[in-house]
Structure 1
Amino acid sequence: MDQLQVQTGNERLKRLMLSLAKPEKWKATEELAAASLRAYAADERLARVDTVIIIGHGTSLATAMNAEFLFSRAAGAAARAVPAYQFRSYARDYLKRPERTLVVGISCSGNTESVVKGLEAARQAGALAMGITGRGETKMREISDYLIEADTAVEQEAGMTAYSASHLFLLYSALRAAVLLGEKRGNAKGLKYWEAQWKSVKNAMSALPELFEKMGGLAEEYSQEEMHNVVALGTGPNLGTAQEGALKICEFAWVFGACEELEDFAHGRFREADGKIPLLLLAPHENLQEKVLDLLAGCEIARTPTVIFTQKALPEVQKLADRVILMPAVEEECLTPFLYVFPLWFLGYHFRSRQGKLVGERRFGLKATDISYQAYLSRRQT
């Protein structure tokens, strides 16, 4: 691939990510989700659901981790995100009351083997199965009681090798599914409330171009100081955001990015803090800043660089952190993942593009479905 092709590919990805700052970019997924859900609006089986298990892998697992809190708050259900392979392998350990359980499988392609087999195991046990995926004929469509669509073809149509926008499109469809389930369960906060909250989040995305430039400056600074590994820390609704951000930094930039829970990082992994691995802390609301201060105090001693992403920083946080990046205000913390993933995506983008290399390029030419023993044997035999 020549330099012009690299630049063209990187510019295409940049435009896609920044296009989400425009409310109209969300219209296709909003319409797909609404149309999908209308088919199930009268299904009374949903009223008996009090437990939701969300499964996926890679970016879709991160989406599931975010969606756990959507189903908890918007649906009022006991929700849990589980890696799809783990769920399919130990389904009976998770499905103690299948008649009251909804298993939600998330997959961009709709054909991820472990997600499909997990949904099959759920139905065989007597649970309801919901697929959240893109349009078209897929294996998930064949075996799901409910199929909720999202506009997941945007990267493929643009010739990209790593997902970004489709993660948030799937998460939006999960939000709408959670709201429908909440209405069936008699949850007090209905569709109008969540639509107003969602409109507020979309409006807040107007800040994305400015945030993109800020993260470009940070990537430049870290590159000059040879800081090429990062740790993303989050908790609650944004543990999944940290997971997706760390994953995307790896995929975009071939940089090692790790995800850790905000408190748990101090219990062992902090020993890796050596002044060359910056910590990216996702702490949208003030209720998390007590723990942020604990970590900042440790980082001050360890001379570890820190960046805090928050919508309002305490004076003590402003004093101790190397950099505080103020994010737009979002009332519902479970919706902050729609915004807080962007700076991590942008950082990974800048790490790679400033080297003149293709953002999201596959390493070793492998994608997830290529990592297969049987495929390896076939290649060896030929």
Structure 2
Amino acid sequence: MDIDVLTRQTSRLGIDLATLMEPVRAQVEAALSGLGGHHRRRVCIVGDGDSYHAGCAAETAFELIGDVICEPQPAQRFLSYHVDTLPKAPGDSLIVLVSASGRTERVLEAAAAARDRGLVAIAVTGNADSPLALAADASVDVSLPEPEPSPGIRTYQASLLALLLLAVQLSAHTGSEATAQELCAELVALATTVSATEQALRGPCEALGHALSDAPVIGVLGTGPSEGTAKYGAAKLVEGAGVMAFGQDLEEWCHVERFAGPLDMPLVIVAPSGKSQRRARDVALRAATLGRRVIILLPQDDEPLFAAGLQVLPIPGSVREPFSPLVYHLFAGHLAAGLARHLGRRPFQSHRPTGPAKA
């Protein structure tokens, strides 16, 4: 697997978003209608890796737009603990099972566990004929044209889009259809923003890959929907460049990892417009004064930040906070490519003689 797959995948995201929007919206509407169409009290999103991160990134949209309790769960936690806590009352809970391949083992087991408990499930998958699609009560196909093996960049966006559209469609049952249509129009318009952001970030993130390649670990921070983005971004640095990285909540970093060495540990802070942005800016300045190398993603029209060791990556356009994960994750593929190129690595450690990710 070559390094350029990271750049190729990231550069196609704007086109993918425009292409997927209408067919995925129609499938989401049909899936919910086929399951009765009535409002649910809670949604539990189950997945592993990128699929779990997409659930974390979409949680705020389900709660603020869809007006439901949302519970993103790694598949093993759902299997071992959570499924037995969910009410069996008809119409109470909707399980959303996410797997790009449709073959993730624990997610398939989660589908069986949900069925055994009498819970209704929708699959979000890139394989309409997969075991997961067949195991669920309804499915949403997010398959992509010209797929290729990669660290899950295009597939992540496709899964995230389906989840956001589920949240919007659920809102139609509590609000107005007109409002749901307006929200869908916002998502359509984001295709242009995604393309502009990808182009704006490519050069700076590739350069940052060179500058940060000496770091033994990189932290990626965000709160609310941006915590999901942070987890996903860290995962791409691990998978794409073999660099140890972690995604963490802003305030949790202040309580724990702030005390970890090295003192110049790089931090990428995801700070779209919204309820936690002020705290994100404060944390960025504080971290820089502690000697951290800080990169903060901010809307390009925001008041800039200035501090030694702090770099701002401006994000074009505007986006409501629950939809911001569609835009603010774009740094990850390009930064991973820059790191991998400078370190002489390939995705999933495939440069090693023993093969991908083998000891």
TM-score (normalizing by structure 2): 0.89
| Contact 1:244-1:341 at 8 Å conserved across structures | yes
**1:213 counterpart residue number:** 203
Give per-residue Cα distances to partners, 1:326-351, cap 9 Å, x unaligned.
Answer: 11233311111111111122111110
> In structure 1, what is the Cα distance between the partners aligned to 2:258 and 2:139?
42
**2:81 counterpart residue number:** 90
Going from structure 1 to structure 2, the CA distance change for 1:189 and 1:85 (only over 3 Å counts) comes to: farther
Q: Which has the higher helix share?
A: 1
Specify which of 100, 103, 106 is matched with residue 98 of structure 2.
106
**1:376 counterpart residue number:** none
> In structure 1, what is the Cα distance between the partners aligned to 2:35 and 2:344?
55
Specify which of 167, 177, 181 is matched with residue 178 of structure 1.
167
Tell me how many residue pairs correspond in the alignment.
354
With a CA cutoff of 8 Å and minimum separation of 6, indicate the structure with the bigger relative contact order: 2
**1:222 counterpart residue number:** 212
> In structure 2, what is the Cα distance between the partners aligned to 1:357 and 1:297?
32
Structure 1 spans left out of the alignment, 5+ residues: 1-5, 372-382
Specify which of 170, 181, 188 is matched with residue 199 of structure 1.
188
Structure 2 spans left out of the alignment, 5+ residues: none
Going from structure 1 to structure 2, the CA distance change for 1:92 and 1:354 (only over 3 Å counts) comes to: closer
> In structure 1, what is the Cα distance between the partners aligned to 2:145 and 2:112?
25
1:130 to 2:119 alignment? no
> In structure 1, what is the Cα distance between the partners aligned to 2:342 and 2:283?
30
| Contact 1:55-1:81 at 8 Å conserved across structures | yes
Give per-residue Cα distances to partners, 1:217-255, cap 9 Å, x unaligned.
Answer: 2122223xx224210001101111100000110000000
User: RMSD value over aligned CA atoms?
Assistant: 2.5
% identity of equivalent residues: 23
**1:279 counterpart residue number:** 267
SS at match of 2:38: helix
| Contact 1:32-1:151 at 8 Å conserved across structures | no
**Counterparts in 2 of 1:1-382, with a 5 A limit?**
9-22=2-15, 25-40=16-31, 42-43=33-34, 45-96=36-87, 98-99=89-90, 100-152=92-144, 154=146, 157-158=147-148, 160-186=149-175, 190-207=179-196, 208-223=198-213, 226-285=214-273, 287-311=275-299, 312-314=301-303, 317-319=305-307, 322-362=310-350, 365=355
TM-score (normalizing by structure 1): 0.84
| Contact 1:64-1:81 at 8 Å conserved across structures | yes
> In structure 2, what is the Cα distance between the partners aligned to 1:41 and 1:95?
20
SS at match of 2:208: helix
Letter in 2 for 1:350: G
Give per-residue Cα distances to partners, 1:184-205, cap 9 Å, x unaligned.
Answer: 3445763321122113321112
SS at match of 1:285: coil
SS at match of 1:307: strand
> In structure 1, what is the Cα distance between the partners aligned to 2:171 and 2:275?
26
Q: Which has the larger radius of gyration?
A: 1
| Contact 1:222-1:228 at 8 Å conserved across structures | no
